[in-house]
Structure formats: C-alpha cells, structure tokens
Structure 1
C-alpha cells in the first residue's frame, strides 16, 4: 500500500513538472555610460539620469533594465574601474548592452578621465566585440547634447568629434545606432532657449532643499528632461524594430507614451 502511495506521489510530481508552463526568459538590457544616464541618489534629486525612467517604457515581465552607468566615467575609466568585465561575465545570449559615453572622454581639462578620440574608438570596439562574443546585442548611442544656445537662439552641437567616432564605429561594425546627440539637439531647439531649461537641472535659490543656493546645470537632467530623453531612445527602439525590445513595450500611459516632441511652452517639470 505504501509503495502504491509513493508511486502515485512520484507520478503526480512528474506530471506537474511536465505540465507547469516554464516562464519565458526575460531580456536583460544593460546600460553603460556616464552621469547623464546613471541612477541618482536622493541627495542630488531632482537630478535624474535618462536610464532611470527607461524601465517605465517596457513590459517588466519581458524586459529587465540593469543600469550600470556611473557618474564621471569615460570609456577608459569605466574599463579601468573594472565595471565592464562583470557585465561581460553575466551576459547571456540575446541580452542587450546600450552604450553611451563621450561627455567625460572629451574632457581635456580632466586628465583623470580624458580619452583621445582614437582610444575612445578602441574602447567602443571592445564593448561591441565582447558583447557579440556572448551572443548578446550591442547598441551604440551618441552622447546626449548639452544645452548650449548661440546668440541667434540656435542650439549648438556639443560633442562633434565623439559623436562622429560613435557613428563611424556603428557603421564599420554594423551596430544599431541611436543618434541621441542629434535627436536631443532637435528637441532642445523645439523647446527653445528659455523653455529648454525645464529639461535640465536649473533651479533658483530656494526651489529645492538639495540646492539652497540654486543650480544652473546644462548637462544633467530634471525628471522631465530625463523622461524626454528616454522617450527619444525608445522611439528608435521602435523605429529600428530592435528584436525582443520593440515587441515588449509597456501599454501606453500618460507617463510613458512615446509622442512627438512639443515646444514645451505648456509643460512643467515634475519637480521644479
């Protein structure tokens, strides 16, 4: 009798194992880059990296965002700090790596992070080839623009050499390219010189307790700016039909809808 009960119990376990659906494998999307993407600590709020709202644009049951961007890092220091190798070790087939550097690579006045265009190229190639060696997908992103208008009210190009290198590597190695430099400049131009301040960490004294004396930052984003930049990135995921990502967007809401840019005249930042 006991043997019969044990047999039936084993049979039930086997039937359950074969009939229980296996959850689908999630696509992991790694973000590597600098402070314009990175997660921010509470002490610098409302400064926001565009990687932070990116997760809201995807179905989290299918896509997991792993933001490994770090403040102040160039391609050279990201490698020197051993931030890249752990990602390589963890990469699985069909994962993604979104790669956006340039801000710190071009900083000639900071020799601790500066990277020549030639070395920047070598480092991008390393990221691309090592990602592909793990059967994962690299995507190159030109550095998002800084806010810089001339006297005629025209937004200036602020990453000429490094955006050009990024574009060249993407073409040479047939890597998907998101030209965030160009797209973000166009967005700032649409907002205009004054209204584009809403996209950046621009605070008057007393606006926020983290910045009692105010802040005039034309590089780092407000919550609104980070969301707008994330929208631009996602718009290219859709336009280029990136496998496993374009088909797993979150259902549109007022917060994550990917819509054409507006002039910003009627739009207010989430936390001024």
Structure 2
C-alpha cells in the first residue's frame, strides 16, 4: 500500500512522544534526537519480536532531557525515505538545537530496485545532502552515521565488510560538508571481528525459525546503540552530561515491542 505524503506526515507526527516541545524547570525545552534510517535502526512491533532496531535502545543511554524520535522504517533507502515524504515529516517538526541522525546504505545498495537504489558517489551523496541541508535550514544539527555492518565472515573467520563504497562516500561527504560522522560501519565490523562468528549469533536475530545476519535482537541492538552514543561523545555532538548507563549493563527485558497501530 502506498501512502500519500500527508498520510506519512500524519503518522510521523502521531509517533512523536507527547513530551515533544515541552519545557523543563527554568523554561528549557527538551531536545530531540531524530533518527532517519532503515530496518536496522527502526522501532519493531510485537509481531516482529525479538527483532530489535538499535534506535529502540538509544533512550536508555541518553539523559532524560533528550527524547528519541525514531523515524527509521524497514526497507527504506536514502532515496525512498525522501520520496515517501518521510524526510518532510521530520523537517516539519524538528526544532533548533535538535539532532538529525542519518543512517542509510543497506537498501541503497539494491541495484535491481530503482525505487531505492542510489549510486554511492552521485545519487547517494545527493540524497544525503537533502537531509543535511534540511536540518541546517531549521537550526538543527545533522549527524551522518555509516551503516552498521551485517554479520558476514569468510572461511578464515574474518569479519567481512558488506557495504561496498557507501561508507567511503558518506565519509567523504561528511568531510566536505563539515558534518559530524559516526563511523558505525568500521566500529561494528571491529566488534564482530572481536566477538567471532559464533559469538555474534547472540547479537543478531537468530531464532529457532530464522537465521538473520542483518537485524538484531536486544543484546545486539544495545551493543550498536552503545557504539552510536560513544561516537556522539567522541565527535562532541553530545557532552558527557547528556549520556547515562554507557558502562552499565542494560537488562534485555527493558526492550519492549508494542502492538502495531490499528
């Protein structure tokens, strides 16, 4: 089913927490971290459990004055997210001082799907620039994040990168445009290498009926969210006072999957 831009915008607005735009004591407004991305980051619902997007774990790592507005959606590329009006929905509500975290590549890579495919050094960068320019025009700060790696190992047990030229293209764009870059691709690849082929199964959506090497379960989502937050600190997008529980265990049962909206 194809949604109109108005329907997409309405759904996105309905998904934003009721605390949006509220002021704390002293008149300071809570700030928001918006996530634009694909299924690896997206909110999952009860029918998908235990699959978990890393965006679902972010609220446990950020101070309560930050709220997470997770607009990531399964199956979207930097192009299709824009074409469906989802970037417009974010730009319609984002405010000065907010962050827009942008992670795409998994679906941009699909050459056989013209609705989603982008070429790394041309149309991928062109679409990413729409997010960067749109956030800046509204006084918000764009943050680019290279795509988290899939679980792939060669016969020698080495973690193998799967995103081709897309991470390099995003790094180059970030440098050229002066945008903070979270190198989640490099960090996640290093983490999978450290854990090894067998241990990483505990981080991905491996169940009795499914062997998914792209999407996460709660431990995997929490681990990737930690990488994201550490990078937000390293790049000074966030300050230490903005972060909590970074070195603490986060119970898996804190992750919940709501029923899908009717």
Return closer, same or farther for 1:82/1:252 CA change in 2, 3 Å cut-off.
closer
Out of 186, 200, 207, which is 1:203 matched to? Answer: 207
> Which moved further from structure 2: 160-169 or 30-39?
160-169
Q: Which residue of 2 aligns with 1:80?
A: 83
Q: Which residue of 2 aligns with 1:106?
A: 109
Out of 128, 153, 178, which is 1:174 matched to? Answer: 178
Q: Deviations for 1:219-270, whole angstroms, at most 9, x for unmatched residues?
A: 0001100000000011112222224x5421125673349xxxxxxxxxxxx9
- 1:236 pairs with 2:231: yes
Does the 8 Å CA contact 1:237/1:246 hold for their aligned counterparts?
no
1:88-99 equivalent positions in 2, closer than 5 A: 88-99=91-102
1:1-272 equivalent positions in 2, closer than 5 A: 21-60=25-64, 62-117=65-120, 118-204=122-208, 214-243=209-238, 246-250=240-244, 254-256=248-250
Does the 8 Å CA contact 1:32/1:98 hold for their aligned counterparts?
yes
CA distance in 2, matches of 1:116, 1:147: 23
Does the 8 Å CA contact 1:40/1:49 hold for their aligned counterparts?
yes
Q: Which residue of 2 aligns with 1:6?
A: none
RMSD: 2.1
Normalising by structure 1, we get a TM-score of 0.80
Q: How many residue pairs were aligned?
A: 230
Does the 8 Å CA contact 1:200/1:219 hold for their aligned counterparts?
yes
Q: Which residue of 1 aligns with 2:11?
A: none
The structure whose Rg is larger is: 1
Gaps of 5+ in 1: 1-19, 205-213, 258-269
CA distance in 2, matches of 1:251, 1:181: 23
